Amino acid sequence: MTTDAATQTWTQRLANPTRFMALSGQILPWLTIAAIAVVLYGLYLTFFVAPPDYQQGETVKIMFIHVPSAWLAMMGYLMIAISSFGLLVFRHPLADVSAKSAAPIGAAFTLLALITGSLWGKPMWGTYWVWDARLTSVLILFFLYLGLMALRSSLEDETLAAKQTAVLGLAGVVILPIIKFSVDWWNTLHQPASVVKIDGPAIHSSILVPLVVNAVGFSLLFFALHMKAMRNEVLRRRVKALRMAEVEQAARGRDTSSATAG
Amino acid sequence: MELGPHAAFIWASYAAVAIVLLALAAWLLWDGRRQRQLLEDLEARGVRRRPQR
Amino acid sequence: MSGFLTLLKRDLLLALREGGALGTALGFYLIVVTLMPLGLGPDLNLLTRIAPGILWVALLLAALLSLPRLFEADHDDGSLDVLALGHMPLELVAASKALAHWISTGIPLALMAPILGILLNLEARAYPLVIATMLAGTPAISFLGAIGAALTLKTRRGGLLLALLVLPFYVPTLIFGITSISAALLSPAGFQASFLILTAISLVSLVLGPVAAAAALRQHMQ
C-alpha cells in the first residue's frame, strides 16, 4: 500500500477514508489557527486601518465582508460541482462526503452575502432589496443550494441521494451561467446604471489590502469548516456502518444459538 | 472608532456574519463530538465491521 | 427513430385518454389568473401593463403542476424498467416523454393564454406576441422539468420539492419570454434579439434536459 503511494495522484491517495482522517486530523488544527489569525488581522485592518471610501464612506466596511462572502458562495458551488463530477465520473469515495459537507457551508455564505448586501444597500441605495442583477443571481444560487439539500434529505437511500444530488449539481453548473447572463441582461433593460461597482480597475490599495486579507481569511475559514464537516461525515458513515454490522451480528448470533439449541 | 451615520448597518452586518459563522462552527464541533462519542460507544461494545469490507 | 415515435404516440394517446392532467393544468391556470386581479385591484391600466408577466408566471406554475406525473406512471407499473432494458437509449426515452408533455400540456397552455388575456385587458397587439413567446419558451419548461421529475421520482413530498428544484432553472425562460414581449411593444426591432435567445434557451434545454434526466433515471434503476 505504501509502495505504490508514489505513483498515485493525491486524490487517489485520499480515497482511503482512514488516510483522509489521519491527514486531515494533522492539517485541521493548523488550518483553523491560520484562518482565525488571518480573519482577526483582516478585522483589525478593517476597523483600525482602512480609511473610509471617498464615495461610500464608512459603509465600505460592509464590502470587506460582503465581497468575500459572495466569492465563497460561488466557490462553494464550484466545490460541489467538482465533487459531483468526481462522484459520477470517477466514483471517488470521498467526493460525496465533500459535496454533502460543502452544501450547508456554501449556503451559509450565500445567505451572508445576501444579508450583508442588503444591509449595504439600505444606506447606499435607500432600500434593502433591489432587483439588481447581482442580488437576483445570488438569490437564485441560494435557491439552488436549498434544492440540493432538500433533494438529498428527501431520498432515504444514501447512495441514491448522493448520485441524484450530483446530477442536480452538475445540471446547475450548466444552467448557472445562463441564469447569470439572463439576469444581467434583464436588469440592464429595466434599471440601467444602478450597480455601484467596487471592483473597478482603479481601486485604491488602502481598500484593496483589507479586502484581500479578508478574502484569504474567510477562504481559509471555509476550508477549515469544510474539512471539519467532512471529518464529521466520515465518522457519521462509520457509525452507520457499525450499527448495521451490530444488527447483522445480533441476527447471526440468534440464528446460530437457535440452531445449536434446536 | 467613528463609523459615521450608518454605523448600525455596519455593526448589523458584522453581527450577522459572526452569528452565522459561529453557529455553523458550533454545530460542526458538537456534531463531531457526538459522532466520535457514538463511535466509541459502538467500539466499546465490541462491534466490528465485517472482514470483507 | 421509429421506437421514439411509437413511444411518443403512446404517451400522447395516454394523455388524451386520461385527460385529467390537462384539465387540471388548464383549470389551475385559469384560477391563478383570476386571483391576480382580485389581489391587485381591478385597475385596468395596471392589469394591461402587467398582463404578459402574470400570464407567463401563471403558465410556469400550471406547467409545474403536471410535471411530477411525467415518469411516475411508467415507473410505478414497471414500463420504465422495460424501456431502460430496450435498445433505445434512455436519453431518447426521456426526450420523447418530455416532448409528449410539451405537446399535451405546453401547447394547450400557450394557446389558452390569449383567452385569459381578455380577463387581464391585454393589449390587442400583444396577443400574437404572447402566443409566439410561449410556444417558443414552453419546450424549455417541459425538457428542463424532466430533470426535476426524474430526480424526484422516488422522493417523499415530490411535488413541492420539484418546484424548488426546477423553478430556478426556469428563470432564463421567464426573463426572455417577458423581455421579448415588452421589447416588441416598445419597438419592433427589439423583439428579434430576445426572441432568438428565448429560442436558443429552449434548444439548449432540448439537449440538457434528456441527458440529465436520463442520468437521474439510471441511478433509480441501479
pLDDT tens, residue by residue, C157-167 = 677 889 889 99
Residue of B nearest to A112 (CA): B17
For residue A202, pLDDT beyond 70: no
Cell numbers given for A134: 447581482
Helix axes C188-221, C90-101, angle to 10 degrees: 130
Q: How far does A189 lie from chain B, in Å, by closest CA?
A: 30
Q: Minimum mean pLDDT among A124-138, A165-179, C46-60, C88-102: which range?
A: A124-138
pLDDT for the residue numbered A192: 42
CA atoms within 13 A on the CB side of A90: 14
Cell numbers given for A140: 437564485
**Which ipTM score applies to this complex?**
0.86
pLDDT tens, residue by residue, A40-96 = 999 888 888 777 776 677 778 888 889 899 889 999 999 999 999 999 888 888 899
Mean pLDDT of A226-251: 89
Cell numbers given for C201: 434557451
Mean pLDDT of C27-32: 92
Cell numbers given for C124: 390587442
C140: closest CA among C26, C73, C64? C64
Q: Total structural domains in chain C?
A: 1
Cα separation, A194 vs A179, in Å, equals 20
Mean pLDDT of chain B: 84
How many other CB atoms are there within 10 angstroms of residue A254's CB atom?
10
For residue A198, pLDDT beyond 70: no
pLDDT for the residue numbered A10: 67
Total beta-carbon pairs less than 8 A apart between chain A and chain B: 97
Residue of B nearest to A117 (CA): B13
Mean pLDDT of chain A: 83
For residue B53, pLDDT beyond 60: no
- At residue A57, what are phi and psi to the nearest 5 degrees? 70, -145
Q: Which residue has the cell 466490528?
A: B48
pLDDT for the residue numbered C219: 87
Percentage of chain A beyond pLDDT 70 is: 84
pLDDT for the residue numbered A247: 86
Q: Which residues pair with A53 in a beta bridge?
A: A57
pLDDT for the residue numbered C100: 93
pLDDT for the residue numbered B2: 65
Helix/strand/coil (H/E/C) assignment for every residue in chain C: CHHHHHHHHHHHHHHHHHCHHHHHHHHHHHHHHHHHHHHHCCCHHHHHHHHHHHHHHHHHHHHHHHCCHHHHHHHHCCHHHHHHHCCCCHHHHHHHHHHHHHHHHHHHHHHHHHHHHHHCCCCCCHHHHHHHHHHHHHHHHHHHHHHHHHHCCCCCCHHHHHHHHHHHHHHHHHHHHHHHHHHHHHCHHHHHHHHHHHHHHHHHHHHHHHHHHHHHHHHHHC
Q: Minimum mean pLDDT among A73-87, A154-168, A184-198, C47-61: which range?
A: A184-198
CA distances from A135 to A138, B15, B17 (A): 5, 20, 18
Mean pLDDT of C199-214: 93
Q: Chain A interface, mutation test: which of C50, C171, C185, most A Cβ atoms within 10 Å?
A: C171
Q: How far does A261 lie from chain B, in Å, by closest CA?
A: 24
pLDDT for the residue numbered C71: 87
pLDDT for the residue numbered C17: 81
For residue A31, pLDDT beyond 80: yes
Q: How far does A30 lie from chain B, in Å, by closest CA?
A: 16
pLDDT tens, residue by residue, C63-102 = 988 888 888 888 888 888 888 888 888 999 999 999 999 9
Q: How far does A219 lie from chain B, in Å, by closest CA?
A: 13
pLDDT tens, residue by residue, A114-123 = 999 888 888 8
Q: Test A170 with C212 for CB contact under 8 angstroms.
A: yes
With a CB cutoff of 8 Å and minimum separation 6, the contacts of C218 are: C84, C90
SS3 A57: strand
Q: Chain A interface, mutation test: which of B2, B3, B6, B48, most A Cβ atoms within 10 Å?
A: B6
pLDDT tens, residue by residue, A101-112 = 999 999 999 999
Percentage of chain A beyond pLDDT 90 is: 38
With a CB cutoff of 8 Å and minimum separation 6, the contacts of C134 are: C55, C56, C59, C109, C110, C113, C177
Residue of A nearest to B42 (CA): A242
pLDDT for the residue numbered A188: 59
Mean pLDDT of chain C: 88
C181: closest CA among C107, C110, C102? C110
For residue A190, pLDDT beyond 50: no
Contact C182, C142 (CB under 8 A): no
Q: Give me the domain span that covers residue C214.
A: 2-221
Q: Test B12 with A119 for CB contact under 8 angstroms.
A: yes
Of B17, B36, B39, which has the smallest distance from its Cβ to A112's Cβ? Answer: B17
Helix (H) or strand (E) holding A48: none
pLDDT for the residue numbered A222: 95
A16: closest CA among A101, A27, A8, A222? A8
Chains B and C touch each other (3 or more Cβ pairs < 8 A): no
pLDDT for the residue numbered A201: 46
- Domain segments of chain A: what residues? 16-191+208-244
Contact C140, C58 (CB under 8 A): no
pLDDT for the residue numbered A113: 92
Cα separation, C194 vs A165, in Å, equals 32
pLDDT for the residue numbered B50: 57
Which residues of chain A are within 8 Å of residue C161 when distances are taken between CB atoms? 147, 150-151, 154
Q: Test B29 with A62 for CB contact under 8 angstroms.
A: no
For residue A177, pLDDT beyond 80: yes
pLDDT tens, residue by residue, B20-40 = 999 999 999 999 999 999 999
Q: Test C171 with A144 for CB contact under 8 angstroms.
A: no
pLDDT tens, residue by residue, C136-150 = 999 999 999 999 999
Confidence of residue A261 (pLDDT cuts 50, 70, 90): low
Mean pLDDT of A151-167: 89
Cα separation, A40 vs A42, in Å, equals 5
Which residues of chain A are within 8 Å of residue C165 when distances are taken between CB atoms? 147, 150-151, 168
Contact A172, A144 (CB under 8 A): yes
Which chains form contacts with chain C, at 3 or more CB pairs under 8 Å? A
pLDDT tens, residue by residue, C32-65 = 999 988 998 888 888 888 899 999 999 999 998 8
Cα separation, C18 vs C23, in Å, equals 10
pLDDT for the residue numbered C76: 83
B46 backbone φψ class: left, alpha, beta (φ>0; ψ -120 to 50): left
Contact C63, C141 (CB under 8 A): yes
Residue of C nearest to A170 (CA): C212
